[in-house]
C-alpha cells in the first residue's frame, strides 16, 4: 500500500449499539474497495474485524479492530468498535484517536441505549460526527422516524445526505441530495452502481432535504450566510467548502441511508468521507502537555515535526508478543527510531512497523503524521503511553477509561498457580485497561472489575486458554466496618501469665467512646503518675490498632472509636511491651462488646438510565435491594434514576439490569458512605462469620 500524508487520511470510528451492523459494514467496505476478494459473514466467523476465537464463538465484537482502505486517492482508517456495553472501554480508546465518529443505527429500532451512551463520548471528545441509518432493507424499517430520533437525541445538526428511494426488503436505491441523483446498487458482491435522475415522485422530497442541508451549511460562517441571503442558495464550490467546515465545527452531522448486508449506499458514503470528512490536518486541536507542565500544548500533525506517538491499544498475540497500536501525532515513525516513553522515562526502539486489516499485517517503511500503525516488541510501553523524541518531552492526554460497574473475586482452582494468574491478569489489563485487577488486603481477596459479567467471564476463559490456569469467580467479601454506639467508661483487662522464670504482666483501664462517622480513630494517653510507664504506651496503642484492623464482631475493621488509657498497673520484672500489647488487645475487645457494637456497610450511589417503559420495574427492584430512591431526571425517552443502594445488593447488577430491561438499561455506581446495617441483616452476617470460624477450626 502506498504512503499517505495527513491531508489524505481520514480516521473514522464506527460506534453504536450492539447488532447495529458495524462489523458487517466494515467487511463490505473492505470488499467494495478491493481490500478483500470475498465478503465474510459474522455467522460463519470469517469477517476481517471479528477474528479472535471468542468473537467467532460469541458472534459479537469484543475488541476494536483497526482496518484501512483506499477511495478517491484517500486512505480511510476504520476503527470497528464493539457495541456490547461490557467493552465500552474499547469504544473510548477508539474515539480518543479518531477524527470523526460515525454512529451506526438500526432503522427499525432507532436510537437505542448503547447509541446514546456512545453518543455522549462524541461530546466528551468534541468530535465531528456522522450517522449511518443501517438495515434499511428490514421490512420494519423506519428511516424518517429514526432520523428524527437522531436529531432529537443525538445531534440537532443531523441532516439527511442520502435517503432511501424504496425502503424495505426491496431496498436497492438511495437518493443523494448533494448531487441530486439516484443510485441503484446491484446484488451484493457485484460492485455495480447505476447513477440516474431522481424519480419525479421523489424530487420535491429531495429538494426539501437539499434546502435544509444548504441552510445548515450556510450557518457555518457569516460569509456563507450572507451569500445565502443574497442569492437564495449557495454555489457548488461554496457548498463543498462549507460542508467540510460545517462538519469540523460540529454544526452539521450528515445522515446516510444504508444496507450493509446488501451494500446499498456504500459508494455515496465513501465519496462523502473522502471529500468532506476532516483529515488529521484539518483538526489541529490535539492537546498534549510538556512533561512536568500543566499548560496545554497544541500538537500539529506535521511530518517535519519531532516524532510523537500515542499507544491507544495493546494486543497480546501468542506467537508475536505484544502488538502496540499507535497514532502518529507529529513527525514520522520509521523502524530503528529511538524514542522515550514519557510515562516511565525509558528508551524504546521501534522495530518492524505495520498497518492492519484485522489480524493481517502489512509491513510499512514509514508511518506518516496523522496515521495509525502497529509495532511489536516494545519493552516497557503500554496503552495510554506517549513515545516522543528526547527533544520534545510531550505527553498526549490519556484515554479516560470508564469506572467499573461489576466486581468479582478470583479463587485459584489449583495451588501454585498464583504467579501465572497474576501475570495473565496483568496482560489482560494491558490489552483492555477498563478491566482491572487488585489485591484487597482488607478482605484478603484478588478482585477483578470491569464493565460487565461477560467481560469478566471472558477474562477467566482467556486465563485458561493462554496460561493453562483455572480460577473460579465468586462474590467478593463485603468490606464491612465495625463500630460502637455507646460510651464505656471503664473497660479493664489484666494480662498475667506465670510459667517458671520470668512471667508476663500488663494491666490497663480504657475509656472507650464512639467518634463521628469518618473520624476513624483517636488514642489518648491520660496516664498520671507513671502507673503505666511511658515506654509501654506505644505497645498499648499498637495492641489497640492491630485489634481494630482484625475486627471483633465479624473480622472487619473497627472504625470511629476513641480510646483513652487512663489507668493500669505494671510489674517491675514481668512487664514488657508484649504483655501490655496483649492486655490492650483484650481490653479493647471486652470494651467494644460492652459498647453496643454494630456493623456498618458500604453504600453506593447507583445511577440507572432506562426507557420510561421499564422505570416502574427498575424502581421496584431497587427498593427490594434496600435501596433509597433519591430522584429521577428525564433524558429524552429515557429516565435516569438515582438511588443509594448497599454494595451487598449490587453483585452482578449489570446482568440483572440487562435482563430486567431487555438489554436497554445502563448503570454506573460510585462509593458514597458507610451506614449502619439493619439488625436482622447484621445478625445473619455475624452468624455466618461464627460458622466460618468454627469450620475453619
| Adjacent-strand bridge partners of 578 | none
Predicted local confidence at residue 296, as pLDDT: 87
Query: What is the full DSSP assignment across 513-556?
Result: EE--TT--EEEEE---TTSS-GGGHHHHHHHHHHHHHH-SSSS-
Evaluate if residue 536 carries a pLDDT over 70.
Answer: yes
Task: Indicate the SS3 state at residue 481.
Answer: strand
- Distance, in Å, from the CA atom of 354 to the CA atom of 386, rounded to the nearest integer, reads 18
- Distance, in Å, from the CA atom of 626 to the CA atom of 619, rounded to the nearest integer, reads 11
Predicted local confidence at residue 662, as pLDDT: 81
Sign of CA dihedral 53, 43, 103, 9: positive
At 559, phi and psi to the nearest 5?
A: -135, 165
Strand-strand pairing, 561-569 and 504-514: antiparallel
pLDDT, tens digit, 9 for 90 and up, residues 443-458: 889 999 999 889 999 9
Evaluate if residue 185 carries a pLDDT over 80.
Answer: yes
Predicted local confidence at residue 593, as pLDDT: 97
Taking Cα atoms as reference points, which of 259, 297, 12, 47 lies closest to residue 136?
259
Find cell 436497492 and name the residue.
172
Q: How far is CA 601 from the centre of its chain?
A: 27
- Distance, in Å, from the CA atom of 422 to the CA atom of 562, rounded to the nearest integer, reads 39
Asked whether 428 and 410 are in contact (CB, 8 A), the reply is no
Asked whether 420 and 467 are in contact (CB, 8 A), the reply is yes
- Distance, in Å, from the CA atom of 261 to the CA atom of 264, rounded to the nearest integer, reads 8
- Distance, in Å, from the CA atom of 211 to the CA atom of 178, rounded to the nearest integer, reads 10
User: Using 50, 70 and 90 to split pLDDT, how confident is the model at 696?
Assistant: low
- Rounded percentage of the chain residues whose pLDDT exceeds 90: 80
SS3 content of the chain, % helix, strand, coil (to 5): 30, 30, 35
Q: Which three cell numbers stand for residue 36?
A: 478483500
Evaluate if residue 161 carries a pLDDT over 90.
Answer: yes
Query: How many other C-beta atoms lie within 10 A of the C-beta of residue 573?
Result: 9
What's the CA dihedral at 272, 74, 62, 259 to 10 degrees? Answer: 30
- Distance, in Å, from the CA atom of 697 to the CA atom of 693, rounded to the nearest integer, reads 6
Radius of gyration for the chain, computed over Cα atoms and rounded to the nearest angstrom: 32
Find cell 501465572 and name the residue.
420
What's the CA dihedral at 540, 542, 548, 552 to 10 degrees? Answer: -60
- Distance, in Å, from the CA atom of 625 to the CA atom of 621, rounded to the nearest integer, reads 6
Taking Cα atoms as reference points, which of 135, 90, 136 lies closest to residue 114?
90
Q: Which three cell numbers stand for residue 212?
A: 435544509
Predicted local confidence at residue 182, as pLDDT: 98
- Distance, in Å, from the CA atom of 633 to the CA atom of 639, rounded to the nearest integer, reads 6
Tell me what the mean pLDDT of segment 29-52 comes to.
94
Which residues, 6+ apart, have CB-to-CB distance to 642 below 8 Å? 605, 606, 607, 608, 629, 630, 631, 632, 633
Q: Which three cell numbers stand for residue 530?
A: 507513671
Asked whether 378 and 322 are in contact (CB, 8 A), the reply is yes
Predicted local confidence at residue 466, as pLDDT: 87
At 672, phi and psi to the nearest 5?
A: -115, -60
pLDDT, tens digit, 9 for 90 and up, residues 362-409: 999 999 999 999 999 899 999 999 999 998 999 999 999 988 889 999
Predicted local confidence at residue 678, as pLDDT: 95
Q: Which three cell numbers stand for residue 502?
A: 520470668
* Range from 68-72, 153-157, 496-500 that averages highest in pLDDT: 68-72
> Which residue ranges form the domains of the chain, and what is each CATH number?
8-197+251-276 (3.40.50.300), 287-396 (2.40.30.10), 406-474 (3.30.70.870), 482-595 (3.30.230.10), 599-680 (3.30.70.240)
Instruction: Give all strands of the β-sheet with 173-176 in edge-to-edge order.
Output: 162-164, 173-176, 181-185, 193-197
User: Using 50, 70 and 90 to split pLDDT, how confident is the model at 286?
Assistant: confident
Evaluate if residue 697 carries a pLDDT over 60.
Answer: no
Q: What is the pTM of this model?
A: 0.86
- Distance, in Å, from the CA atom of 418 to the CA atom of 479, rounded to the nearest integer, reads 23
Using alpha carbons, list the distances in angstroms from residue 452 to 161, 593, 653: 37, 40, 9
Asked whether 50 and 114 are in contact (CB, 8 A), the reply is no
Taking Cα atoms as reference points, which of 285, 318, 320 lies closest to residue 466?
318
Task: Indicate the SS3 state at residue 317.
Answer: strand
Evaluate if residue 599 carries a pLDDT over 90.
Answer: yes
Asked whether 169 and 132 are in contact (CB, 8 A), the reply is no
Q: Is 81 exposed, middle or buried (0-12, 13-18, 19+ CB in 10 A)?
A: buried
pLDDT, tens digit, 9 for 90 and up, residues 464-482: 988 899 999 999 999 999 9
Q: Which three cell numbers stand for residue 457?
A: 467471564
Taking Cα atoms as reference points, which of 450, 438, 452 lies closest to residue 410?
438
Average pLDDT of the chain to the nearest whole number: 93
pLDDT, tens digit, 9 for 90 and up, residues 318-372: 667 789 999 999 999 999 999 999 989 999 999 999 999 999 999 999 999 999 9
- Distance, in Å, from the CA atom of 130 to the CA atom of 690, rounded to the nearest integer, reads 60
What per-residue string of b and e applies to 636-659 under the rule 16 or more CB within 10 Å gives b?
ebbbbbebbbbbbbbbebbebbbe
pLDDT, tens digit, 9 for 90 and up, residues 562-598: 999 999 999 999 999 999 999 999 999 999 999 999 9
Asked whether 159 and 254 are in contact (CB, 8 A), the reply is yes
Amino acid at each position: 500500500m502506498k504512503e499517505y500524508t495527513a491531508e489524505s487520511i481520514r480516521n473514522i470510528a464506527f460506534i453504536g449499539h450492539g447488532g447495529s451492523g458495524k462489523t458487517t459494514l466494515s467487511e463490505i467496505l473492505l470488499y467494495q474497495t478491493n481490500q478483500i476478494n470475498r465478503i465474510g459473514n459474522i455467522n460463519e466467523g470469517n469477517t476481517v474485524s471479528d477474528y479472535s476465537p471468542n468473537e467467532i464463538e460469541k458472534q459479537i465484537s469484543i475488541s476494536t479492530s483497526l482496518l484501512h482502505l483506499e477511495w478517491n486517492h484517500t486512505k480511510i482508517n476504520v476503527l470497528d468498535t464493539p457495541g456490547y456495553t461490557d467493552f465500552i472501554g474499547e469504544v473510548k480508546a477508539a474515539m480518543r484517536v479518531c477524527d470523526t465518529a460515525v454512529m451506526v443505527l438500526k432503522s427499525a429500532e432507532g436510537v437505542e441505549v448503547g447509541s446514546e451512551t456512545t453518543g455522549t463520548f462524541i461530546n466528551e471528545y468534541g468530535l465531528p460526527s456522522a450517522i449511518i441509518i443501517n438495515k434499511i432493507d428490514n421490512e420494519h424499517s423506519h428511516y424518517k422516524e429514526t432520523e428524527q430520533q437522531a436529531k432529537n437525541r443525538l445531534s440537532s445538526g443531523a441532516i439527511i445526505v442520502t435517503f432511501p428511494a424504496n425502503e424495505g426488503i426491496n431496498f436497492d436505491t438511495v437518493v443523494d441530495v448533494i448531487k441530486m441523483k439516484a443510485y441503484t446498487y446491484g446484488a451484493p458482491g457485484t460492485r455495480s452502481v447505476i447513477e440516474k435522475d431522481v424519480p419525479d415522485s421523489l424530487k420535491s422530497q429531495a429538494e426539501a432535504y437539499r434546502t435544509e442541508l444548504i441552510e445548515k451549511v450556510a450557518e457555518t460562517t457569516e460569509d456563507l450566510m450572507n451569500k445565502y441571503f443574497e442569492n437564495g442558495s449557495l454555489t457548488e464550490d461554496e457548498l463543498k467548502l462549507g460542508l467540510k467546515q460545517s462538519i469540523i465545527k460540529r454544526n452539521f452531522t450528515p445522515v446516510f441511508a444504508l444496507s450493509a448486508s446488501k451494500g446499498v449506499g456504500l459508494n455515496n458514503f465513501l465519496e462523502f468521507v473522502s471529500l468532506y470528512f476532516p483529515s488529521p490536518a484539518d483538526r489541529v486541536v490535539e492537546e498534549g502537555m510538556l512533561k512536568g507542565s500543566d499548560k496545554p500544548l497544541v500538537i500539529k500533525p506535521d511530518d517535519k515535526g519531532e516524532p510523537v506517538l500515542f499507544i491507544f491499544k495493546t494486543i497480546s498475540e501468542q506467537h508475536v508478543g505484544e502488538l502496540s497500536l499507535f497514532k502518529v501525532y507529529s513527525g514520522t515513525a520509521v523502524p530503528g527510531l529511538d524514542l522515550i516513553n514519557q510515562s516511565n522515562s525509558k528508551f524504546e526502539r521501534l522495530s518492524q512497523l505495520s498497518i492492519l486489516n484485522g489480524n493481517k499485517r502489512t509491513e510499512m517503511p514509514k508511518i506518516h503524521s496523522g496515521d495509525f500503525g502497529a509495532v511489536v516488541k516494545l519493552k516497557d510501553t503500554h496503552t495510554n503511553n506517549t513515545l516522543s523524541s528526547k527533544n520534545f518531552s510531550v505527553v498526549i492526554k490519556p484515554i479516560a477509561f470508564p469506572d467499573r460497574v461489576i466486581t468479582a473475586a478470583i479463587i485459584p482452582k489449583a495451588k501454585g498457580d498464583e504467579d501465572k494468574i497474576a501475570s495473565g491478569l496483568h496482560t489482560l489489563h494491558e490489552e483492555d485497561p477498563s478491566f482491572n485487577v487488585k489485591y484487597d488486603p482488607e478482605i484478603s481477596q484478588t478482585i477483578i472489575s470491569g464493565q460487565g459479567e461477560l467481560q469478566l467471564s471472558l477474562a477467566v476463559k482467556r486465563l485458561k486458554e493462554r496460561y493453562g490456569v483455572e480460577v473460579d469467580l465468586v462474590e467478593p467479601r463485603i468490606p464491612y466496618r465495625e463500630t460502637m454506639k455507646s460510651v464505656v467508661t471503664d473497660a479493664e483487662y489484666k494480662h498475667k501469665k506465670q510459667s517458671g522464670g520470668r512471667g508476663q504482666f500488663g494491666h490497663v483501664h480504657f475509656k472507650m467512646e464512639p467518634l463521628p462517622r469518618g473520624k476513624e480513630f483517636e488514642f489518648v494517653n491520660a496516664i498520671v503518675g507513671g502507673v503505666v510507664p511511658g515506654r509501654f504506651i506505644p505497645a498499648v496503642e499498637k495492641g489497640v490498632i492491630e485489634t481494630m484492623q482484625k475486627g471483633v464482631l465479624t473480622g472487619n475493621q473497627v472504625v470511629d472509636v476513641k480510646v483513652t488509657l487512663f489507668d493500669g498497673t505494671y510489674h517491675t520484672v514481668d512487664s514488657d511491651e508484649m504483655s501490655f500489647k496483649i492486655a490492650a488487645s483484650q481490653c479493647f475487645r471486652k470494651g467494644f462488646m460492652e459498647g453496643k457494637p454494630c456493623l456498618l456497610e458500604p453504600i453506593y450511589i447507583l445511577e440507572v438510565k432506562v426507557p420510561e417503559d421499564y422505570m416502574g420495574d427498575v424502581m421496584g427492584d431497587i427498593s427490594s435491594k434496600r435501596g433509597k430512591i433519591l430522584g429521577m431526571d428525564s433524558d429524552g425517552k429515557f429516565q435516569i434514576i438515582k438511588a443509594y443502594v448497599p454494595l451487598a445488593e449490587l453483585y452482578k447488577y449489570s446482568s440483572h439490569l440487562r435482563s430486567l430491561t431487555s438489554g436497554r438499561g445502563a448503570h454506573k455506581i460510585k462509593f458514597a458512605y458507610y451506614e449502619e446495617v439493619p439488625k436482622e441483616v447484621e445478625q445473619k452476617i455475624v452468624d455466618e462469620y461464627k460458622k466460618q470460624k468454627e469450620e475453619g477450626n
